[in-house]
């Protein structure tokens, strides 16, 4: 039960030497106390300078990210790279500026309390700009049960002395490494060294230009190289805390040792190989629970397109990708839905399989499930969209316990014809059989949602996932950085699964349990993560500028581009 192991690709940036690493750490050490003591106004000024540089460097960084992904920078498809890099980083920067301006306690859009006492904080939309930006989206942070919706996180974590944190960056999404670094800088009050992932390290020089104001002051540094560079930094005496976005295999190798035998022995004795504070976001097998209801053929077509988008975004190299489609066996429209999903797969262009090991991982799934259906154009360097029908809904099943991290989705059928029969069993299945607790999706039509009433939210409350999307992809929980991002709380270092801790958390909430984003079952405007968005590059690049200055005057240009999608 795990995320994949990833081979190391060829280097695109010269590795950082041991001497250079020591020099970077020495500079961080000199300034770590200064960062803790730096007045909020000065930190805000530095982040504003970073925002200015991001706006200037965004096109060049996006072009590099597009090249890594195999996207044509001159085409609308490059919009994905605009989102996966500059857009979310710009949003994170803006929210941290607002967070600091509000002394760690920005005004929450709304608070409510469930009958069981659990608090829910509405963090999106906050204003008219938000409402116009994402039509009918609502995002909430659910607070841990028994805890108050307090906002002291920023102040409560402030240490007396400075510390150096290490971020081991993700290789699949451009904004993750810099956003993880910002979280440690702002919330944990640490100076940071970021070790770029070899997959997307070509973006590092752009990030160094963007973050030059922090680098020049000795508050941030970047490093490059393979596992030897990461290992040197992890074990360095000056590095006092760690964060990784990646695989549970990486986490276990760092904390418990490099072999299965060593890990087993150390876990049994409790003797960690590296015993430093360590937060981690480690992926999982993302479920899509399709609640049966009276869908029209138009609904079926759109949601088939929608499901494939959760699989196909970023060529399926996402930890929040849809990987297990859960359907009610006796839903009268089940076969029609699957037929339309296969049609979508057949006519949607395949993507460059740029992430290391994807071809081998894909072949393992084909070997395990020889009846898997491969759809879409076969071309060199790309993997077909692959549907595995009738996967047994049992514990330990390979497709339910191993994150594919490639263009595969499994389909599982559970008994039932109605929402009332299906949904409780589907939640139990997602919680107890599907591996990991990072993300889950629900699709439910308006008539069924109205009939279920509070029972629907009761089932959402039962889901043990850190990110939940209702009629929109749970990837929105990552992109909306006002939400807290990470696994459902409760994992241990011995059984880390989808990870430990949260990042982003733009409202500084102390006890986030999970983030829930909801959207319309029948959207009026095309979601930006859907395939075939004809103006995505124009919309996404305009949204980057809007994050620096979220004025209503920017909405007409955005709307005009969105209407041509």
Q: Is the pLDDT at 25 greater than 90, yes or no?
A: yes
31/378: higher pLDDT? 31
Cis peptide before 125, with omega less than 30 degrees from 0?
Answer: yes
The pair of structure tokens assigned to 5 is: 């192991």
Which pLDDT value is given to residue 565?
78
Count CB-CB contacts under 10 A for residue 453.
9
- Residue-range domains of the chain with CATH: 18-106+151-281 (3.40.605.10), 112-148+466-521 (no CATH), 286-458 (3.40.309.10)
pLDDT score at 561: 83
**Is 483 or 12 the better-scoring residue by pLDDT?**
483
- For residues 169 and 480, give the distance between their C-alpha atoms in angstroms, rounded to a whole number: 19
CA–CA distance, 489 with 466 (Å, rounded to integer): 8
Q: What is the pLDDT of residues 443-464, one digit of tens each?
A: 999 999 999 999 999 999 999 9
Would the pLDDT of 1 be above 80? no
User: In a 3-state reduction of DSSP, which class is residue 548?
Assistant: helix
Mean pLDDT of 320-347: 98
519-554 residue pLDDT tens: 999 999 899 999 999 999 999 999 999 999 998 888
Name the 3-class secondary structure at 326: strand
At residue 6, the pLDDT reads 86
Beta strands in 446-488 (DSSP E): 467-470, 484-485
Q: What percent of the chain has pLDDT over 70?
A: 100
Question: Number of C-alpha atoms within 13 angstroms, CB side, residue 374?
Answer: 15
Judge whether 4 and 398 are in contact, CB under 8 Å: no
- Lay out the sheet containing 241-245: strands in order across: 220-223, 191-195, 164-168, 241-245, 278-281, 499-500
As a whole number of angstroms, the distance between CA 89 and CA 85 comes to 6
Spatial separation of the C-alpha atoms in residues 536 and 173, rounded to whole Å: 17
Asked if pLDDT for residue 56 goes beyond 80, the answer is yes
143-190, pLDDT tens digit by residue?
A: 999 999 999 988 777 888 999 999 999 999 999 999 999 999 999 999
Count CA atoms closer than 13 A to 477's CA, side-chain side.
35
Looking up tokens 């077509």 gives 301
Contact 287, 430 (CB under 8 A): yes
Residues 6+ apart with CB under 8 A from 559: 132
* β partners of residue 500: 280
Give per-residue pLDDT as tens, 266-320. Answer: 999 999 999 999 999 999 999 999 999 999 999 999 999 999 999 999 999 999 9
Q: What integer pLDDT is reported at residue 157 of this predicted model?
A: 78
pLDDT tens profile 100-127: 999 999 999 999 999 999 999 999 999 9
Q: How far is the C-alpha of 507 from the C-alpha of 105, rounded, in Å?
A: 7
Nearest Cα neighbor of 546 from 73, 93, 35, 135 is 93
Whether 350 shows a pLDDT value over 80: the answer reads: yes
Average pLDDT over residues 342-359: 97
d(Cα 271, Cα 290) in Å, to the nearest integer? 44
Distance CA 90, CA 548 (A): 7
d(C-alpha 191, C-alpha 187), whole Å:
11
Average pLDDT over residues 351-371: 97
- 515/182 Cα distance (integer angstroms): 20
> What end-to-end distance do the CA atoms of the chain give, in Å?
40
Task: Examine the pLDDT at 3 and tell me if it is beyond 90.
Answer: no
Name the token pair of 134. Answer: 């994402």
Average pLDDT over every residue of 213-218: 98
Instruction: Identify the burial level of 432 via C-beta atoms within 10 angstroms of its C-beta, where 0-12 means exposed, 13-18 middle and 19 or more buried.
Output: exposed
pLDDT of residue 564: 87
**Residue 378 in this model has a pLDDT that exceeds 80:** no
C-alpha to C-alpha distance for 180 and 40, rounded to whole angstroms: 20
- pLDDT (0 to 100) of residue 5: 78
Instruction: Tell me which H or E stretch contains 206.
Output: helix 204-210
């Amino acid at each position: 039960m795990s995320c994949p192991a990833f081979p190391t690709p060829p280097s695109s940036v010269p590795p950082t030497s041991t001497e250079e690493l020591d020099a970077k750490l020495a500079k961080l050490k000199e300034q770590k106390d200064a960062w803790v003591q730096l007045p909020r106004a000065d930190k805000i000024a530095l982040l504003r300078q970073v925002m200015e540089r991001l706006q200037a460097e965004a096109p060049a960084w996006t072009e590099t990210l597009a090249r890594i992904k195999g996207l044509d920078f001159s085409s609308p498809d490059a919009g994905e790279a605009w989102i996966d890099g500059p857009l979310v980083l710009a949003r994170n920067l803006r929210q941290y500026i607002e967070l600091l301006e509000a002394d760690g306690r920005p005004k929450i859009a709304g608070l409510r309390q469930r009958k069981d006492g659990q608090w829910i904080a509405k963090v999106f939309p906050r204003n008219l700009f938000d409402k116009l930006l994402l039509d009918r989206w609502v995002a909430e942070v659910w607070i841990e049960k028994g805890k108050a919706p307090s906002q002291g996180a920023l102040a409560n974590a402030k240490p007396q002395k400075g510390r150096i944190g290490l971020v081991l960056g993700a290789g699949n999404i451009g904004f993750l490494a810099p956003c993880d670094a910002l979280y440690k800088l702002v919330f944990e009050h640490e100076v940071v060294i970021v070790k770029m992932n070899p997959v997307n390290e070509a973006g590092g020089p752009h990030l160094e230009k963007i973050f030059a104001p922090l680098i020049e002051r000795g508050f941030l540094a970047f490093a490059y190289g393979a596992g030897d560079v990461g290992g040197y930094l992890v074990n360095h005496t000056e590095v006092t805390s760690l964060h990784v976005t990646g695989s549970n295999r990486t986490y276990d190798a760092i904390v418990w040792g490099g072999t299965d035998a060593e890990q087993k022995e150390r876990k049994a004795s409790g003797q960690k190989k590296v015993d430093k504070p360590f937060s981690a976001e480690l992926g999982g097998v993302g479920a899509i629970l399709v609640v049966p209801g009276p869908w029209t053929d138009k609904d079926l077509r759109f949601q088939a397109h929608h499901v494939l988008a959760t699989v196909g975004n970023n060529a399926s190299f996402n930890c929040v990708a849809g990987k297990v489609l859960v359907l009610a066996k006796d839903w009268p429209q089940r076969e029609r839905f699957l037929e339309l999903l296969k049609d979508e797969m057949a006519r949607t262009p395949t993507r460059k399989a740029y992430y290391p090991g994807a071809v081998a991982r894909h072949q393992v799934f084909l070997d395990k499930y020889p009846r898997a259906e491969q759809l879409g154009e076969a071309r060199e360097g790309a993997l077909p969209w692959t549907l595995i029908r009738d996967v047994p809904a049992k514990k330990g099943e390979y497709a339910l316990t191993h994150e594919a991290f490639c263009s595969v989705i499994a389909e599982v059928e559970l008994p039932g014809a109605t929402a009332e029969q299906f949904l409780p069993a589907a939640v139990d299945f997602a919680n107890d059989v599907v591996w990991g607790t990072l993300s889950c999706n629900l699709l439910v039509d308006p008539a069924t949602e109205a009939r279920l009433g509070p029972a629907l939210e009761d089932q959402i409350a039962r889901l043990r996932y850190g990110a939940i999307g209702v009629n929109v992809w749970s990837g929105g929980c990552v992109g909306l950085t006002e939400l807290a991002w990470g696994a459902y709380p409760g994992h241990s270092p011995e059984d880390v699964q989808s990870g430990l801790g949260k990042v982003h958390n733009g409202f500084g909430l102390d006890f986030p349990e999970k983030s829930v984003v909801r959207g319309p079952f029948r959207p009026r405007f095309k979601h930006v993560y859907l395939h075939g968005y004809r103006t995505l590059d124009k919309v996404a690049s305009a949204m980057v500028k809007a994050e620096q200055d979220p004025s209503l005057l920017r909405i007409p240009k955005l709307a005009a581009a969105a209407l041509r999608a």
